[in-house]
Amino acid sequence: DTATQLTNTFTNTIYYDANASDNKYFNENAQKAVNALIFALLEQADQTGDYSKLTPNNLVELLSEIGGFNYYPDPENEFKQLNALDEFMNQLPPGNIAKKQYGATKIGSDKAKGNILSTAITGLNPFTLTKIAKMTSQSTIDYKSIGFPKYLDLKLHESLLNQRIVVEFYHKGKKFHEERVKVGYRGFCEINFDCHLEQGDHVCLKYNHQGKQYVAWYEFSQKVLKDEEGKIVYRKKRGETHLPELEKEAVLTLDEKKSNLLVESIRMHYTDKPMAIFMLTPDYDPSNHIIVSIFLSQLYKELSTQCVKTKGDKCHRRIHFILDEFGNMPPMDNMEGIMTVTAGRNMLWDLFIQSYQQLYAKYGEQNAAIIKENCQTHIYIMSTDDNTIEEFSKKVGNKTVEQENSTINSLGMNTHINRNVDSDRILTPERISTFLEGETIVLAPLKRQDLKGHKIRPYPIFNHGETNLPYAYQYIEDFNPSWDINDIDIHCTHADLDLKALQIDYDYFLPDEYAR
């Protein structure tokens, strides 16, 4: 189920288009066809035990090589031609998930099938670029650690499926924290914890069965982290490069004398350091922006999955998504659903757009409205879109204006005075469209408490004059926009990656000897 969900997240980000209309059929079935190929690659990896070849680059090559390969099963019969991909899917057993996903493509007409596979290969086009192929074939980012910096991964005997394991943490012999977890598929367990550990603390795994207790005692320590070449890894701070910090990794040492519970493998990730991930995408080439959307969708999916497994149902570390030019990014899968629940999961989203119209154009009217409604704070800086300007002007509200009219006779004397009460905008569209630098409007309709917890009415806020929004250079002492990314040393493990070394064995996907 997890593999299916992750696969759908990946492909839906590529092929979902709220404005597809007539192309919706081809987009949906292209997604299913690619799902089928991913599951086929996954089954091959299960058999070989080598998951390093399960990459988008191999996915593209498999679709190109096998999907477009036709052959004659009988050399003497030139009228019977078969497609290698169709035949591979045919020979899979009934109920196979790859076979079911490919079904709509197979039963369609030759023209429809051609359009589906053409749509599929077009969606995967960014992964054909060598740099992107390398980057997506190897990664050092641990998605889970972004929201859960402290966790245990362990494997017990698969016979313990659905059994409850208690994890206890001890400091100087006294228990100070406890977690409970049920053993998952094939004996795998994930325990996310949020407590501070010191050198020499202990972690104890406990399992009770038929009145007998099984335990595994581990001592916690940290050692200096080294890279693949055996060199010590340092982390440098800006302004303190002369004081590099040593990177450390957690180590658990089994106390065999106290332990009688068989733990096949155990690994702890432990850090208190903050983390920031910067996604740099060229504004002059939006063709690869899909990579950003895929990364965000996969990250959200992993963090949400971990939230469900964690006491409190939220990330232990707050996640702040700061998405500049969100309106120019490809649509994220189920963004309207994401926005309704993430605040409770300790995830915040800052979406920067040029106008509300960008949102409607990208996600469609209905989904865009849901995304917009679930943004608890709207900040207007400047826009040239009339609809956006009008909406902010209207939401700021109206004021009462008293008008006085007088009638003057031929002698120049007032003979009659009329007073009328009318309504006018507090901030007119004309005023909003000509904001000075630093002026902003803040709409926070759900903010009904002040900093001291007192109840307040969520009136709109107009920042101007003394409350102007300050620019970064005005309060950040070392603000320097002229920094060059080339001056930063970025350790890149995939730069010298040999894609040929990760190439799959195509014979596995060729159904008979005539195809080979």
For residue 511, pLDDT beyond 80: no
Residues 372-391 pLDDT 10s? 999 999 999 999 999 999 99
Confidence of residue 465 (pLDDT cuts 50, 70, 90): very high
- Cα–Cα distance measured from residue 509 to residue 502, given in angstroms and rounded to the nearest whole number: 16
Rounded to an integer, what distance in angstroms lies between the CA atom of residue 294 and that of residue 311? 28
Q: What's the mean pLDDT when you consider all of the chain?
A: 87
The closest alpha carbon to 128, from 65, 50, 45, belongs to 65
Digit-coded pLDDT (tens) for 391-406: 999 999 998 887 777 6
Which residues are paired to 263 by β-bridges?
156
Query: DSSP character for 247?
Result: P
CA distance linking residue 437 with residue 472, whole number of Å: 13
Residue of 229 and 141 predicted with greater confidence: 141
> Which distant-in-sequence residues (6+ apart) come within 8 Å of 489 by Cβ?
none
How much is the pLDDT for 330? 80
Task: Please tell me the predicted confidence (pLDDT) of residue 285.
Answer: 77
Q: What would the two tokens of residue 415 be?
A: 């003979």
pLDDT of residue 163: 94
CA angle 240, 237, 345 (to 5 degrees): 150
CB 127 within 8 A of CB 57: yes
**Is residue 24 pLDDT above 90, yes or no?**
no
Q: Residue 204 pLDDT more than 60?
A: yes
Q: Where are the domains of the chain?
A: 2-140+496-509, 150-270, 286-396+423-487
Q: CA nearest 398: which of 362, 418, 426, 422?
A: 426
CA 180, 182, 186, 189 torsion: positive or negative? negative
Q: Using one digit for the tens of pLDDT, what is the confidence trace for 65-116?
A: 888 888 777 777 777 778 888 888 988 999 899 999 998 888 777 788 888 9
For tokens 């850090």, the residue is 271
Instruction: Classify strands 188-192 and 202-209 as parallel, antiparallel or unpaired.
Output: unpaired
The pLDDT tens digits for 125-160 are 989 889 899 999 988 889 999 999 999 999 999 999
pLDDT by residue (tens digit) across 471-487? 888 888 878 878 777 77
Q: Is the domain defined by 286-396+423-487 classed in CATH 3.40.50.300?
A: yes
Q: Which of 44, 80, 81 is nearest to 62 (CA)?
A: 44
pLDDT value at 2 more than 80:
no
Q: How many CB atoms lie within 10 A of CB 302?
A: 19
pLDDT class for 360, splitting at 50, 70, 90? Answer: very high
